[in-house]
């Protein structure tokens, strides 16, 4: 089992690199004062060295990639595509080999990393955006902002969109960052915090504020339209390109035209929805606060079927061609037939499922708040292997170029080599 304690020594070089680079690159001017104090008194020097170290922690190691190339492949947003699909059409073994492990200042919420070419980006609740070299975990830079960054950033070519929630006011700011020039290109204030995952559609970015305002921006950061629903929303939206769907705390499902922001329908379907949405045309899937999972028609919102898991659902349903799998806060996982919602299997983990899993052809990789990650047979529901961690595993797994990325509490990011099924 991969215990974080086992790799403590592995983490030390990562921390040392970060500290050295912060001092030398971000706070280089302080070296002059350090040299001046050194010749007067050793105790003063040691005290001032401690001050330098403390200051270096708060300094940014700027993100700027002058030689960045456009047109790279990657994993550009939470859920990979606008429909929010957490499925990889391949089979892997249940054995993992740790490639690298890194640590950020500040933990993450139940979000995910994003990837552009050889760069891995991750946000932190401490108000930081980090960049690592994807294959070896080398830190490449970070930016620090006042507030928290609870959701995954979105990549569009060589630009990065991310939302910063104000710590003191009920406001947030969408920032557009130029990865080549290393600077903010535009900012847009949003009333209310944003804890719902943002969405990249064909011609822009869509975000849903906690206050229930749906806003679309183009790729240069200009607001195209906004729609206030006047009801709190804690539901990450999904889109089929034409319509964007989400739910709210009253249990309403809302569909909005992605092009012009006009509401197509608004229907009450449950007592409250805080689950993420997932779309597989022509249907959308989501759960509610009482534990029911729903299948509705995207175009008109009509109910296809529902199934009661009896405990609150916050994660997104994941699916392949014939199955849909959902977990609840009681630690129960249900596999249903996508067509009629009939039960195929049920598995109880004894933990808490609040993170969206990643589904392969043969395994479901499911993080558990109980410091575990399960490899579950997608055909039978049997837990084939369990990996235990020292901290809660919070990030939704991402698979890219044969590497599985997992993240745990206190900013731990791990990259594992996977092996194809024989």
401, two tokens: 């170029």
Instruction: Determine the angle formed by the axes of helices 42-58 and 30-38, rounding to 10 degrees.
Output: 170
Query: What Rg do the C-alpha atoms of the chain give, in angstroms?
Result: 22
What is the C-alpha separation between 126 and 107, in angstroms, rounded? 7
189, two tokens: 């204030």
Which of 333, 317, 319, 416 is CA-nearest to residue 374?
333
Per-residue confidence (pLDDT) for residue 7, from 0 to 100: 37
**Is the CB of residue 275 less than 8 Å from the CB of residue 314?**
yes
What is the C-alpha separation between 410 and 124, in angstroms, rounded? 9
Per-residue confidence (pLDDT) for residue 421, from 0 to 100: 87
What is the C-alpha separation between 353 and 411, in angstroms, rounded? 19
Per-residue confidence (pLDDT) for residue 167, from 0 to 100: 84
Per-residue confidence (pLDDT) for residue 60, from 0 to 100: 57
202, two tokens: 């064909």
Per-residue confidence (pLDDT) for residue 115, from 0 to 100: 98
Per-residue confidence (pLDDT) for residue 179, from 0 to 100: 97
Residue ranges, the chain, pLDDT below 50? 1-58
Three-state SS for the chain is: CCCHHHHHHHHHHHHHHHHHHHHHHHCCCHHHHHHHHHCCCHHHHHHHHHHHHHHHHHCCECCCCCCCCCCCCEECCCCCCCCCCCECCCCECCCCEEEEEEECCCCCCCCCCEEECCEEEEECCCCEEEEEECCCCCEEEEEECCCECCCCCEEECCEEEEEEECCCCCEEEEEEEECCCCEEEEEEEEECCCCCCCEEECCEEEEECCCCEEEEECCCCCEEEEEECCCCCCCCCEECCCEEEEECCCCEEEEEECCCCCEEEEEECCCCCCCCCEEECCEEEEECCCCEEEEEECCCCCEEEEEECCCCCCCCCEECCCEEEEECCCCEEEEEECCCCCEEEEEECCCCCCCCCEECCCEEEEEECCCEEEEEECCCCCEEEEEECCCCECCCCEEECCEEEEEEHHHEEEEEECCECC
Phi, psi of 333 (to 5 degrees): -115, 135
Per-residue confidence (pLDDT) for residue 20, from 0 to 100: 33
Going 47 to 49 to 54 to 59, the CA torsion angle's sign is positive
- CATH number at 62-417: 2.130.10.10
What's CA 330's distance to the chain center, in Å?
22
């Amino acid at each position: 089992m991969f215990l974080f304690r086992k790799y403590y020594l592995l983490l030390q070089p990562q921390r040392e690199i970060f500290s050295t680079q912060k001092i030398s690159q971000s706070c280089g001017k302080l070296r002059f004062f350090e040299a001046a104090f050194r010749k007067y008194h050793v105790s003063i020097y040691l005290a001032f060295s401690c001050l330098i170290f403390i200051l270096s922690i708060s300094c940014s190691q700027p993100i700027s990639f002058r030689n960045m190339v456009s047109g790279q492949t990657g994993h550009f947003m939470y859920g990979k595509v606008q429909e929010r699909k957490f499925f990889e059409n391949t089979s892997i073994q249940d054995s993992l080999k740790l490639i690298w492990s890194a640590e950020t200042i500040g933990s993450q919420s139940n979000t995910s990393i994003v990837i552009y070419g050889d760069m891995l980006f991750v946000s932190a609740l401490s108000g930081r955006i980090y960049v690592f070299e994807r294959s070896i975990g080398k830190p490449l830079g970070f930016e620090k902002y006042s507030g928290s960054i609870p959701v995954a950033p979105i990549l569009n070519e060589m630009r990065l969109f991310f939302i910063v929630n104000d710590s003191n006011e009920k406001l947030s700011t969408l920032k557009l960052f130029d990865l080549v020039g290393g600077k903010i290109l535009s900012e847009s204030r949003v009333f209310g915090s944003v804890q719902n995952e943002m969405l990249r559609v064909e011609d822009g970015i869509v975000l849903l504020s906690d206050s229930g305002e749906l806003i679309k921006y183009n790729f240069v950061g200009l607001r195209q339209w906004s729609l206030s629903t006047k009801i709190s929303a804690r539901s990450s939206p999904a889109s089929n390109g034409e319509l964007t769907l989400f739910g709210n705390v009253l249990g309403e499902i809302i569909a909005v035209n992605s092009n012009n922001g006009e509401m197509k329908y608004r229907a009450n379907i449950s007592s409250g929805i805080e689950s993420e949405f997932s779309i597989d045309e022509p249907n959308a899937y989501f759960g509610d606060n009482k534990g029911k999972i729903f299948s509705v028609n995207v175009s008109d919102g009509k109910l296809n079927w529902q199934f009661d898991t009896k405990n609150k659902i916050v994660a997104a349903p994941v699916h392949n061609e014939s199955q849909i799998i959902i977990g609840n806060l009681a630690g129960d996982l249900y596999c249903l037939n996508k067509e009629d919602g009939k039960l195929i299997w049920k598995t109880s983990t004894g933990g808490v499922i609040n993170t969206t899993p990643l589904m392969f052809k043969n395994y479901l990789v499911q993080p558990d708040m109980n410091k575990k990650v399960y490899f579950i047979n997608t055909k039978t529901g049997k837990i084939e292997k369990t990996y235990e961690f020292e901290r809660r595993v919070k990030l939704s797994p991402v698979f890219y170029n044969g590497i599985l990325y997992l993240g745990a509490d206190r900013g731990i990011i791990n990259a594992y080599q996977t092996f194809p099924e024989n």
